[in-house]
């Protein structure tokens, strides 16, 4: 069964109010940013803050997924122990709230030593619990097929794939491959979908100079129509009917990752975009 959801990033102080908004919007699932809730200190869950968060989350009927913090860099050879502890704490939080999906970024393929660490930490995490699936997400700085290759290579029932259509729309244009063919090649690995919109115009600063890319800010990139814009579905150029066709019959969460500042004024458009995706998947 497909469940429609919103990605929500908020501070702990705003969590209850934000979840009330999602409930009013009529969605069935919520993806949480554990980073913005700020629940982890020195690799461990803070007991008081975590208890507060869990208490609030249990008041609502949502199915939850959790998005990794940016600090979870699985290729960080110099801090492998600290990263592993952080990973374990994020998984613990998932278990506490009944989240079956933990979204983990693939980022960009690197040197053999770093790739080996990535695989070791993923397998170690996958063997810690059979309650949480590690859903590796394709990012626009790398080909989506690299994620599929990793998942197949590790061959673990708790390691699957989050497919982000917006990221792959950009990556396929930049790296020169057919997005639909890519989807057909790994659709069986996908357990979680991220949907939003952009114009398919790659911004190379995302790879060549990330600090400048970040400093430019969302409004600049939106005006230029470049990069991973996280727009409501229908605002950009992604052909959802065509690209979602291989996923008909999909069973899982479909999370729209739209920038928070669009929610207040454009909730109805955001939800109608989710409804559009839902209709395609059920057709």
Mean pLDDT, the chain, rounded, equals: 97
Residue with tokens 């908004």, as numbered in its chain: 21
Tell me: the pLDDT tens digits for 190-222? 999 999 999 999 999 999 999 999 999 888 999
Residue with tokens 């470049």, as numbered in its chain: 226
Closest CA to 217 of 199, 204, 229, 208: 229
Residue 83: exposed, middle, or buried by beta-carbon count in 10 A (0-12, 13-18, 19+)?
buried
pTM above 0.85, yes or no: yes
Largest CA distance in the chain: 49
* Mean pLDDT, residues 165-183: 98
Residue 144: HSE in the Cβ half-sphere, 13 Å Cα cutoff: 30
Range in 41-45, 64-68, 171-175, 208-212 with the lowest mean pLDDT? 208-212
- What is the C-alpha separation between 82 and 41, in angstroms, rounded? 11
- What is the C-alpha separation between 140 and 227, in angstroms, rounded? 9
- What is the C-alpha separation between 140 and 169, in angstroms, rounded? 8
What top-level class would CATH report for the domain 3-282?
alpha beta
- What is the C-alpha separation between 36 and 56, in angstroms, rounded? 15
- What is the C-alpha separation between 255 and 27, in angstroms, rounded? 10
Backbone angles phi, psi at 29, to 5 degrees: -140, 155
Residue with tokens 């497919």, as numbered in its chain: 163
Residue with tokens 């990973």, as numbered in its chain: 87
* Mean pLDDT, residues 240-250: 97
Residue 58: HSE in the Cβ half-sphere, 13 Å Cα cutoff: 12
* Mean pLDDT, residues 88-96: 98
- What is the C-alpha separation between 257 and 151, in angstroms, rounded? 23
Beta bridge partners of 31: 7, 65
Contacts of residue 156, Cβ cutoff 8 Å, sequence gap at least 6:
122, 123, 126, 127
Q: At what angle do helices 15-25 and 263-282 cross, to 10 degrees?
A: 50
Domains of the chain, by residue range, sit at 3-282
Tell me: the pLDDT tens digits for 128-164? 999 999 999 999 999 999 999 999 999 999 999 999 9
Closest CA to 74 of 63, 86, 64: 86
Tell me: the pLDDT tens digits for 33-58? 999 999 999 999 999 999 999 999 99
Helices (H), ranges, 61-143: 80-97, 112-126
């Amino acid at each position: 069964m497909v469940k429609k959801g919103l990605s929500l990033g908020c501070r702990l102080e705003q969590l209850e109010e934000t979840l009330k908004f999602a409930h009013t919007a009529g969605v069935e699932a919520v993806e949480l940013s554990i980073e913005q809730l700020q629940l982890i200190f020195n690799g461990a869950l803070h007991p008081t803050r975590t208890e507060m968060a869990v208490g609030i989350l249990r008041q609502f009927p949502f199915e939850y997924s959790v998005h990794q913090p940016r600090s979870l860099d699985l290729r960080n050879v110099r801090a492998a122990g600290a990263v592993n502890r952080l990973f374990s704490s994020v998984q613990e939080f998932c278990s506490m709230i009944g989240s079956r999906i933990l979204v983990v970024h693939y980022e960009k393929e690197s040197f053999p030593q770093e790739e080996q660490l990535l695989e070791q930490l993923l397998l170690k995490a996958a063997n810690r619990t059979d309650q949480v699936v590690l859903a590796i997400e394709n990012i626009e700085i790398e080909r989506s097929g690299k994620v599929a290759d990793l998942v197949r290579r590790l061959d673990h029932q708790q390691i699957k794939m989050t497919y982000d259509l917006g990221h792959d729309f950009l990556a396929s244009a930049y790296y020169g491959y057919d997005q639909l063919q890519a989807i057909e090649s790994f659709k069986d690995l996908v357990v979680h979908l991220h949907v939003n919109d952009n114009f398919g115009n790659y911004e190379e600063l995302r790879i060549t100079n990330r600090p400048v890319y970040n400093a430019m800010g969302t409004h600049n990139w939106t005006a230029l129509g470049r990069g991973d814009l996280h727009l409501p579905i229908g605002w950009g150029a992604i052909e959802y009917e065509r690209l979602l066709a291989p996923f008909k019959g999909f069973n899982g969460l479909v999370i729209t990752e739209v920038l928070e500042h669009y929610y207040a004024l454009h909730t109805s458009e955001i939800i109608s975009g989710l409804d559009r995706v839902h209709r395609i998947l059920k057709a």
